[in-house]
Amino acid sequence: MVEGEKWLLFFSSKIFVLLIIAQSLPQIFALPNGAPETVCDTMLPFHGGGIRPANSVPPFRIETSSSVVGQGQVLRVYIVGVPNGLQFGGFMIQARQIRPPYEIVGQFNPPERGDSSLMNCGNSVGNSATHSNPSPKAEINLEWQSPVDFEGDVIFNSTVAQTYDTFWVGVPSNTVRVVKRDLAPQNYTTSRPRFSPSSRPPYVPVYEQPTTTQMPDDPFYAECGIAKNCFGIPDGCVEEKTCTNVVAIKVRGNIHEFEIMSNAKDAAYVAFGLSEDTKMGEDLVTECIPQNGRISMYSSYTSAPPNGNYGSSRNGVPQNTARLVESSFINGVIYCKVERDQITKVRNHEFDLVNKKYFLLLASGKSLKDTGVGYHDIARSPSSKAINLAELQSLSAASPILLRLHGAFMVIAWIGTTSLGIIFARYFKQTWTGSQLCGKDQWFAWHRICMVTTWSLTMAAFVIIFVEIKGWSAEPNPHAVLGVITTIICFIQPFGALFRPAPNSKKRPIFNWLHWLAGNLAHLLAIVTIFFAVKLTKAELPEWIDWILVAYVAIHVLVHLIYSIVGCVSDRQHTQKVNAFQMGDMSHHGLRNSIKLERRMDAPFGGFRKGLLGLYIVILVLFVVALVLIIVLAPIEETFKNLQAKLN
């Protein structure tokens, strides 16, 4: 009996040790027959009942053979590891609409290999796929057939289990657009796209800081002006090889090849358009959009009033007239090479790349829409002229001189002359009382000069901007609305002054208050409008210009405060002086002469007011000059760098 107990104790200890070892080893087994249909909606494995999905970046990627597929056509779908070769045990995948009600669409064809099996989720057959065995896999290759009665965007949603207790739920693919069969790419392929994130393609620019060793030039620019036309942002960047956005055009026989690249920070897309003018509207656009580590290419068409709202849309645009030849998204750099057909017809508009000349439109932005790209809030620039795409030539951006003049005129008017004119009218009526200019009191003459200058510059700037943009601004910024309101008030002010009542009229106080209210309201709105102008894409102003504007506002308010305090003290002393004249002056003639004398004399602290005015004018001139230079030379930082490079 004792011997039996020893053997029992021995085997129990061995079994316990084996259990401990088994628990300590990573389990790579998924459910042996794949995911059950009870998880069609959640896609959540029931591994151990309480194991939660990993919340780290999944080391797996869902790839598709194309970003566009026709109705009823077959699309290849791949599940691969990152890096290539990383194994996993189980998976579940299905295609769903990207908008409500997020239904499962399409179906998978029977797998060619025995590592996958189909699932029937809901009332459909084979609309999801899962693993058929838990053995390690380096790649899954599936065929998905799009529905014949659906048109729109879908995304492949998946769950991938690397081990029994390590899995990721909601691993998405890039967006795939299902279009009508006749709009699908003609060179449609089910082969897997080339993707090698571990290698650095030759067209990615070098960003290392310069050292004593000369860094190689970016090959993207190697053939610019020699074998291809290049156009970039900012203007002149192609020669310096420092573009944040750039497009290159090469014509080889009947093939038109476009290379588009952007290294702009936070760019959600880069787009290139062919236009018959420099404005948005009826343009053919090629969009390159990074999605889940890959680049998707779309064709779209722009609209503008009166033929629609500002923007671009892919609806009704054939996606088979352009082909994505090469692409990458590495270190934030978007790159794509696209071949486009010689003739493209979009909404009864024919684009003939051989026989017609086109302006080049280049843009990038931070947002996307369901059927196109969002506003170009990073950069946007048209070429200065329409070109024959096959003719090699030097390209430059359209001149922004009218935009720069608009900004400069408004700054001079509302930060310069208006600020000074208000100071004269409010605090200098009792200064220079014995002197006149053009038959008017000094304060009134200078006030009128300042305000006439403001009115003239504002009206000129208002006309200039509408000549430049030929319509309403498409940018979602209140600058345009506030600017129009300010201009209307400014336009009315001098005409109201023509009907100014006489000084002794009962209506004069009403006029004074209305004139004061309108003038100050216009000034306030103008300053706020200038603040909003800093955010405008076309202005190309640095964000730190806000601090210059804040400093101006602070100094302007401080000067008003000082003048107000001095005015209160001056009024008190002036009253005491009038009440203290001698008894000998109490006669009728003496009183009248005294009053005339007081009217001819400046109020107390006249010298201080004049000195502060001189200092304020100097500071105001410095502000205006600085702001005008920043506006005219925008983008000022790029201009400064280029100037510095030339001097060195």
> pLDDT tens digits for 520-574?
999 999 999 999 998 887 788 888 999 999 999 999 999 999 998 988 887 676 5
pLDDT at 49: 54
| Residue 29 pLDDT grade (very low, low, confident, very high; cuts 50, 70, 90) | very low
Instruction: Please state the rounded mean pLDDT for residues 326-332.
Output: 84
> pLDDT tens digits for 214-226?
334 677 888 888 8
User: What residues does CATH 1.20.120 cover in the chain?
Assistant: 401-573+604-643
pTM for this structure?
0.56
* 200 has pLDDT over 60: no
* 208 has pLDDT over 50: no
When the candidates are 2.60.40.10, 2.60.40.1210, 3.30.420.40, 3.40.50.800, the CATH number that belongs to 219-398 is: 2.60.40.1210
How many residues appear in the chain?
Answer: 648
Query: Cα dist. 206→97, 209, 230, 327, 422 in Å?
Result: 39, 9, 19, 17, 54
Would the CA dihedral through 121, 125, 128, 129 be positive or negative? Answer: positive
Distance between CA atoms of residues 90 and 115, nearest Å = 10
Least confident of 23-27, 341-345, 429-433: 23-27
User: What residues does CATH 2.60.40.1210 cover in the chain?
Assistant: 219-398
* 431 has pLDDT over 60: yes
Distance between CA atoms of residues 127 and 120, nearest Å = 6
CB 169 within 8 A of CB 43: yes
Instruction: Please state the rounded mean pLDDT for residues 634-644.
Output: 77
* 16 has pLDDT over 50: no
Q: Which overall architecture, per CATH, does domain 37-183 show?
A: Sandwich (2.60)
User: What residues does CATH 2.60.40.4060 cover in the chain?
Assistant: 37-183
Tokens at 350, concatenated: 């024919």
Instruction: Please state the rounded mean pLDDT for residues 486-497.
Output: 90
CB 639 within 8 A of CB 633: yes
How confident is the prediction for the chain on average, in pLDDT? 81
Q: Which overall architecture, per CATH, does domain 401-573+604-643 show?
A: Up-down Bundle (1.20)
| Residue 584 pLDDT grade (very low, low, confident, very high; cuts 50, 70, 90) | very low
Distance between CA atoms of residues 578 and 55, nearest Å = 83
pLDDT at 618: 96
